[in-house]
Amino acid sequence: MAEPIRREDAALVNKKLEECRRLISRGNIFPCLINFREALEKILSIRMLPADEKQLHDKINALQQELAESAAFKKIYGPVTFRDDDMATSLDFLKQLIRIKEEELQAVMEERQNTESERQIDEDGSPPEGDAAGRAEKARSLIDRGRIDEARELISEDEDVISFLVGHYNSAGIGHRKEGKLDEALAEFRKALLVAPGDEGLHYNVARVHVERKEWELARTSILKALGINPEFRHGLALLKHIEENR
């Protein structure tokens, strides 16, 4: 049976694309690429009404042009040309761009960790000089040491740092959960939530850990937080139904 058409799915894609435009206007290219990738993954996996599909394709083509013309984007990646109406190719290209940035950030962080003078964390928690990788490294160290307020002050609204930290902690949490290390997984997801409390996906991941531990009330609380952020979160709705059936 074909997947039913859900217009709310198209609305979610549209919301992601609008967020991309906002991020471009602020020069926050890496978070924009993350949101753009998620929008393309979604649009390639859903069925839509022809009118919705055309509207979103036109908006994606315009967004690609806006991104390619962005001074902040050119500074990072140089001149780039996207192909209109070729979502699969654009998605593959975005994944490459994101991988380049992630590898760059990770390499800088590893280099800093291997240099004693740059690895030291000031006791007064003053912000480090330098790039997003340096700020992300220091924020991660502060969070791991329980100095949450200092980490939040350092991170502020730096979306590059936020995206990197959330990606780091979320990936670590997923890895621990798959290995059955549920306490460790929960700890990593909670660190990510300290950085991005409004991310429904993180609350969903916390709920999944509680489900695996048969902690149904805690699971329900977490998934309701996710749905409070995004009431149309389909995976969240499905997990809530599973929780309610097993409480």
Contact 3, 11 (CB under 8 A): no
CA gap 29, 100 in Å, rounded: 13
**Predicted confidence band at 125 (pLDDT cuts at 50, 70, 90)?**
very low
pLDDT in tens, 51-83: 988 999 999 999 999 999 998 888 888 888 888
Average confidence (pLDDT) over 177-199? 89
Burial class (CB in 10 A: 0-12, 13-18, 19+), 105: buried
Cα separations in angstroms, 144 against 53, 124, 131, 167, 223: 44, 16, 20, 15, 25
Phi-psi region of 130 (alpha: psi -120 to 50; beta: other; left: phi over 0): left
pLDDT in tens, 139-152: 888 888 888 888 88
Contact 194, 152 (CB under 8 A): yes
Q: What are phi and psi of 182, to 5 degrees?
A: -70, -35
Residue 37 has a CB neighbour count (10 Å cut-off) of 19
